[in-house]
Amino acid sequence: MDFEVNLGFVLGVGLRFSLPVCSVYSMPGGYLVAMSPTKLMRWLTCPTFGYLDERWEPTGPWTPNRLLGMMMHTAINASLTHQDAPGSTLRELDRGYPTDEEPVWTKEALLTLINKALPKVLGVIENFGESFLASELTIGDGRVDLVTQREQDKGQPLVVTDFKTSLQLSTYLATKNMAEAQSDWQLLDYTWRVSEYYQKPVIARRRVLIVLTPQVKVYCETFDTTTTLDMWRRTMLKEEAYVESLKDLPLADLPMRTTNCYGRYGKCRFYEFCWIAGKDEQRAGGLYNHRRIESI
């Protein structure tokens, strides 16, 4: 089954494509891809973590990191698709800003950060010299930030770009983050989904990292995809089947990857849940709240 989409809101190019949708979910042998890459990675990092992250969050003051990421995505998407970027960003801010506490970061301060960064990010995207195909493209449980096309190359291959936003990050950590993007599971997953969705080769995958303070910095790294995608896909099938085999187990029976209890940013956010409350959901109640927003 095909459907046609008008993508006439291009960075300088108007395009119309016929997209095969049935192939999106089907894998060899009819395997169904059901899980978002972020959720799958949490379960692979530690099955106990995967379970807890879907249901619980640590108590503590609100931080704006996740909201800033969502605002940045909204602002980029609205700009590229010629929608009302300031209005859309403000609506995203209103949706995600807490109403039951007074955060350190005011709404005005958050908007200022996004407005300062947006022109720089759009400038970086324009410099890619690629035609816009889609942004915030939902394929199954994955949402791809940006898909572009290299019109000048043979076969007009595609490029998948993923945006990450950070309130603050040292140059050392930003550089490390960019190097690690080459083996980033989520980016590989999105690349694969896009190649299935469009039934076209994806020649490259790219990470754009936006650091908002103390000054706006935009990092960008592009990786060749031609030799890695099939290798990753074979692994993904095995890993997803493994996680599916665990998903109905009770918390007490889920494996604990103790090598990940302490990571590069310090201890796991469910450390007390496991090592103080002994994975007892009644006992952990004072230290953790039931999740208010669905984990993505």
Rule CB under 6 A: which residues touch ligand SF4?
A: 46, 48-49, 52, 256-258, 260-261, 268, 270-271, 274
The whole-angstrom separation of Cα 149 and Cα 73 is 20
* Beta carbon of residue 58, minimum distance to ligand SF4 (angstroms, whole number): 12
Q: What is the dihedral of CA 47, 50, 54, 57, to 10 degrees?
A: 110
Helix (H) or strand (E) holding 148: strand 142-149
Closest distance of CB 35 from ligand SF4, Å: 18
The C-alpha angle 215, 177, 11, rounded to 5 degrees, equals 70
Task: Give me the sign of the Cα torsion angle 266, 294, 70, 175.
Answer: positive
For residues 79 and 85, the answer to whether their CB atoms sit within 8 Å is yes
Closest CB 249 distance from ligand SF4, rounded Å? 14
Q: Which is nearer to ligand SF4, 35 or 52 (CB)?
A: 52
Query: Which residue number, 20 or 255, has a Cβ lying nearer to ligand SF4?
Result: 255
Q: Which is nearer to ligand SF4, 185 or 223 (CB)?
A: 185
Residue number, 80 or 274, with CB nearest to ligand SF4: 274
Instruction: Report how far residue 123's alpha carbon sits from residue 127's, in angstroms, rounded to the nearest whole number.
Output: 6
Pairing assessment for the beta strands 56-58 and 131-139 based on DSSP bridges: unpaired
CA angle 60, 61, 65 (to 5 degrees): 115
Minimum CB separation of residue 289 from ligand SF4 in Å reads: 16
Q: Which is nearer to ligand SF4, 46 or 203 (CB)?
A: 46
